[in-house]
A and B are shown apart, each in its own frame.
Chain A
Amino acid sequence: QHSYSFKSYRCALVCLLPLLKECNSELLSSVLPFQGAGQDVGRSCILVSIGGKNIMLDCGMHMGYNDDRRFPDFSYITQNGRLTDFLDCLIISHFHLDHCGALPYMSEMVGYDGPIYMTHPTKAICPILLEDFRKITVDKKGETNFFTSQMIKDCMKKVIPLNLHQTVQVDDELEIKAYYAGHVLGAAMVHIKVGSESVVYTGDYNMTPDRHLGAAWIDKCRPDILISESTYATTIRDSKRCRERDFLKKVHESIERGGKVLIPVFALGRAQELCILLETFWERMNLKAPIYFSTGLTEKANHYYKLFITWTNQKIRKTFVQRNMFEFKHIKAFDRSYADNPGPMVVFATPGMLHAGQSLQIFKKWAGNEKNMVIMPGYCVQGTIGHKILNGQRKLEMEGRAQNGPLLDVKLQVEYMSFSAHADAKGIMQLIRMAEPRNMLLVHGEAVKMEFLKGKIEQEFSIDCYMPANGETTTVTTNPSVPVDISLNLLKREMALGGPLPDPKKPRTMHGTLIMKENSLKLVSSEQALKELGLNEHQLRFTCHVQLQDPHSDADTLHRIYTHLKSVLKGYTIQHLPDGTVIVESIVIKVSSSAEDSNTKVLLLSWSYQVIIEPLLKKSFLYPAVLANPPLKSDVISSFWVQTLLQFPDSNKHCGITES
């Protein structure tokens, strides 16, 4: 039997297409330095192909553009076909608009009816943010060609909620599992698995716990590829403590000089964190100035925190058991009449970007006094009052007033503080240590240089690290183990041949026939393969003609060969048959004279495939090179060919023979 080792490389083709047409460096430079920590600028939209499945990760919107460029370019995926036919599923990591802002556009305007996955909190909060943004874009800025409220609702109907650590079977082969990512309420990392191949996508994540959220965590799941955000990959973050200290210092300074402090917040997340912070500080410093929060905020926040308490950190969970999230000693509910009260106060009000509602009303009232202060604890989208004042604008046109009407003079102090929670270089290294991926892939919003980080990851973990640019495809070769069934008979026969006992950790050569049929592989004996495939057994016989010079008659030449072989091949059966043939084991040798020259003798050698000819031919100066190269084709038993080189002692001529 011929032996051959079986090796297979299947490629998990992962194409990564951050799908936006242009990167956002232009935006950043125009806004710098005020947006230096402009977290959440840019967008995320990644396409992964794994084991024949196409998965889209996030569907973000670029906040820096007002035209079609803000949405991903879906023509990268398919030129004319429907998205639903091409994509197996879409997964949204968290509710920030740069990760979910293009969702209604994709599902309702471009057209996608396949499954959309996101966690419960993301599903609850995402439509609120989308609606907020729609209002700013359509109602305030008067843009058309944008998704409608109904589209947001229809889109959310297609969403399938995910629980943490719950394995969801998208179809028979594709399964996904969500892990806690910190960052914001409901943020998740996803583990995507097809067969033995897997990918982890982090979305935005945070490896250090804060006052209301825990740290990201993942199993040692050893994915083939870990796709990580790298917004802060070249950053060493200032400590949380210093951020908080500066926040308290600013609030305190303003209160001390008798000013009022407005903190526009989104109902969830940072608002709770800042409330906890101020409450503790007021208690410690024994301050008397009132702190208010707008009532809509409490109801909404309490509602969500009750729903999603498991997504916060341990301390909050404990606190919440004892009392209401907003039962603070120093923080009380706000009434709109309080805004005119004399003396210092602190007010938390929604919305966070000063584009409407209570926060904007209070801002208008307080903007004229330089003793007052507004603290913006997060990023503001273009077109909002928040964005304008963060860019240093001091005169604002207010709507609802006549054209060329009086401008609102912004005299109050404007403070921009970033409390965003992203993983920095250290956090990325921590996550790699946790998940132990085989390859690392960093997706970045800006065209930043990260060669050093790439080198660091490759050195420390001995894995490859990739950083594809927008629209660039990265292909990672995986080496998955392919299970093959072996018949018991074949296994027994192998064992009978002796040798060491099978060890699962050591490769071992097996002899048999590999049958690939209907996506399954099995190794059987050749007799069984013939039987199963209904084929007849064929005998292969190899022949070869060798010319040599010999003046004797044909019979004498044959006899001389017989005597020679007899002397060199001791212990083998060698017969000289009366019909003019010499047989060595099963090799048949005949001699005939050449038609042109009687001195030239032609030797005919013939042997069957089964004969172990090598030692025989070697000893008799017939040296063979036996090559086997079985091409693998579905439903076909491999064919073999053998090439033999022969050399006689008194002939320098070589001749090749092939199977007839």
Chain B
Amino acid sequence: GGLTFTFDCSAQNHVTSKLSFTVFYVKLYTEIHKPFSFRYKDLHVYQLEHPTQVLEWTSGNSVCVAGYSQSKNEILELRLPLKLLADENKSLCAERDFKVSHGGFTDGPVRCLTHIPGTRCAVTNDGLSSDLQVWDLGGEESDVIRRTGSIKGKRSASERGSRIAARPSSAPQVLHGAQISDVQLTELASGETLYKLETDSADPLSSLQFVSDTVFLAGCCNGSVYVADTRTSAPPQLSHSPSSAESVIWWTDAAAGPHPSSRRVIRVSSSGQAVVSDLRNLGGAGCQAQLDVQTPGRCSQVKVSWAPTLDDCISVSGFSGVVQIYNTRLWGAEPQEARPLFEHRGHAVSSQQTDDSVPTFVTSHIWHPERPRTLLSAASDGSVHVWDWVDPNRQGGSPTP
């Protein structure tokens, strides 16, 4: 809207002027169909040898990635570039590459990786059974990630992989399970089961996370959410699925803010329906929206995540080659179409994938724990992007190239 242009017909050569008109038309067309001009403070684009479905912080400046091909894979710990993290003298810092600080080899795919806070230890699952693998990420003296042990899952023959959540404080303990009746808390050092969730439901899990040191949330693929406390054997609180539709799959994320009022849960379905509810009252009315997604999400790839430091912001990926950021404050009680606040299209635009018939999709993304608008995202073509986005509502100044 509001675009005006003049067309100079005085060109000496008629053919030339016709040609330039065509080019101009194409440019104009793309301008109109872009809802916003999204801008970045920083954008770094990397190409891994193999795509990763795992992005997990091991510290404020390093992140773990791992391959998911059927046979052999690598687990890498990457250090973020100094230029991105530098606050002072950023312009004098030319270092913009990832450094592989540690690496190791696995025999199978890595579908899930959880870092145990305060340690150099990580736990993985291959997505084929509910068994877990335990890894030593290596220290100063070695750059090799070594497998140190394993934890037997409740059912070894299950075809579904486990979800893993690390207990935030206390000795290394992980909560894990492939379906809601499997969920158990295991101590890493002894392999002892400290807690089991008491339920008969066999619903497969889509997410598992601690919301405090003892209370955890287990989201099921059918949209129901369980909240339980590992200190008691009391039955968990159950919140039923927001919709009764059978074919959709739901993913869940809880915001773990310091105030009880900020503890909210978002559920996103494979059809793009999003529901926000209060963790203290999951059954109560919350706000909702229909997200601007094109394709129905695939079962294992959709990821929804609350921004750790920005209020009300969520990020969604896995529906296509983009990562979207929405402001849930704008949502109402009735599901209306929501427009993303920001959209990272880089993976789809600059895809390295040679086969055009399979479009690139985002496999995972993660917010930086402290830097408000810095995210990492990975895609099926092996690309990993680190981006610091600019809020379009707050932006000023000139457009960038």
Contacts from A to B (Cβ < 8 Å): 33-34, 36-38, 232, 234-239, 241-243, 245, 248-250, 252-253, 256, 281, 284-285, 390-392, 413-418, 424-426, 429, 449-453, 455-456, 459
Contacts and interface: CB of A to CB of B under 8 A. Distances in A.
Contact of A236 (B46, B142, B401): B46
A451 B142 contact: yes
B105 A455 contact: yes
B100 interface: yes
A36 B94 CA distance: 7
A452 B47 contact: no
B95 A33 contact: yes
A234 B398 contact: no
B175 to A, nearest CB: 30
Given A392-B92, A413-B91, A452 B43 contact: no
B91 A415 contact: yes
Given A235-B98, A252-B400, 10 more contacts: A33-B82, A34-B92, A237-B97, A239-B44, A256-B398, A451-B143, A452-B100, A452-B145, A455-B144, A456-B105
Contact of B100 (A235, A285, A429): A235
Nearest to A389: B92
B144 A451 contact: yes
B398 A456 contact: no
A234 B138 CA distance: 15
B357 to A, nearest CB: 24
B97 A37 contact: yes
B200 interface: no
Most B CB contacts (10 A, CB to CB) among A34, A235, A242, A459 go to: A242
Contacts of B101: 234
A242 B40 CA distance: 11
Contact of A416 (B43, B78, B94, B350): B94
Contacts of A391: 92
Contacts of A450: 143
23 contacts: A34-B92, A34-B93, A36-B94, A38-B94, A232-B97, A234-B100, A236-B98, A237-B98, A238-B46, A238-B81, A239-B44, A239-B46, A242-B44, A252-B398, A252-B401, A253-B398, A413-B91, A414-B91, A414-B92, A418-B94, A450-B143, A451-B143, A456-B105
Contacts of A250: 91
Nearest to A429: B49
B44 A425 contact: no
A236 B105 contact: no
Contact of B78 (A37, A236, A390, A449): A236
A379 B57 CA distance: 32
Contacts of B46: 236-239
B44 A452 contact: no
Nearest to A452: B103
Interface in B78-110: 78, 81-83, 86, 89, 91-105
B86 A452 contact: no
A425 B98 CA distance: 11
A425 B104 CA distance: 14
Given A36-B94, A252-B401, A242 B144 contact: no
Contacts of B142: 449, 451
Nearest to A247: B401
Contact of B143 (A36, A241, A426, A449): A449
Contacts of B278: none
B400 A238 contact: no
B144 A452 contact: yes
Nearest to B143: A449
Interface in B95-142: 95-105, 142
B45 interface: yes
A250 B401 CA distance: 10
Most A CB contacts (10 A, CB to CB) among B94, B99, B398, B400 go to: B94
Contacts, number: 117
Nearest to A37: B94
Most A CB contacts (10 A, CB to CB) among B49, B72, B89, B95 go to: B95
Contact of B96 (A285, A418, A453): A418
B48 interface: yes
Given A236-B97, A450-B143, A390 B92 contact: yes
Given A281-B401, A390-B92, A416-B93, A36 B82 contact: yes
B74 interface: yes
Interface string B372-401: 000000000000000000000000001011
Contacts of A34: 89, 92-94
A37 B86 CA distance: 14
Contacts of A415: 91-92
A149 B11 CA distance: 58
Nearest to A377: B94
A237 B102 CA distance: 16
A416 B92 contact: yes
Nearest to A251: B401
A256 B397 CA distance: 10
A529 B104 CA distance: 59
A234 B47 CA distance: 14
Contacts of A413: 91
B47 A239 contact: yes
B89 A392 contact: yes
Contacts of A414: 91-92
A576 to B, nearest CB: 75
Nearest to B83: A36
Contacts of B48: 236
A248 B49 CA distance: 28
B143 A37 contact: no
A242 to B, nearest CB: 5
Nearest to A448: B143
Contact of A241 (B45, B100, B145): B45
Which are the 7 A-B pairs with shortest beta-carbon distances?
A36-B95, A452-B103, A239-B45, A418-B94, A449-B143, A37-B94, A236-B98
B401 A249 contact: yes
A236 B96 contact: no
A415 B94 CA distance: 8
Contacts of B82: 33, 36
B354 to A, nearest CB: 16
Interface string B41-64: 001111111000000000000000
A426 B96 contact: no
A204 to B, nearest CB: 16
Contacts of A281: 401
Given A245-B401, A252-B400, A285-B401, A234 B99 contact: yes
Contact of B94 (A241, A249, A417, A459): A417
Contacts of A239: 44-47, 350
A235 B97 contact: yes
A451 B101 CA distance: 11
Contacts of A248: 401
Contacts of B100: 234-236, 425, 452-453
Contacts of B47: 236, 239, 426
B44 A238 contact: yes
Most A CB contacts (10 A, CB to CB) among B46, B86, B101 go to: B46
A618 B78 CA distance: 71
A256 to B, nearest CB: 5
A250 B45 CA distance: 18
Contacts of B143: 234, 449-452
A452 B99 contact: no
A391 B91 CA distance: 11
A425 B72 CA distance: 18
Contacts of A424: 97
B45 A238 contact: yes
A40 to B, nearest CB: 12
A329 to B, nearest CB: 16
B245 to A, nearest CB: 41
B377 to A, nearest CB: 14
Contacts of A252: 398, 400-401
B96 A456 contact: no
A414 B101 CA distance: 30
Nearest to A237: B97
Contact of B400 (A36, A236, A249, A449): A249
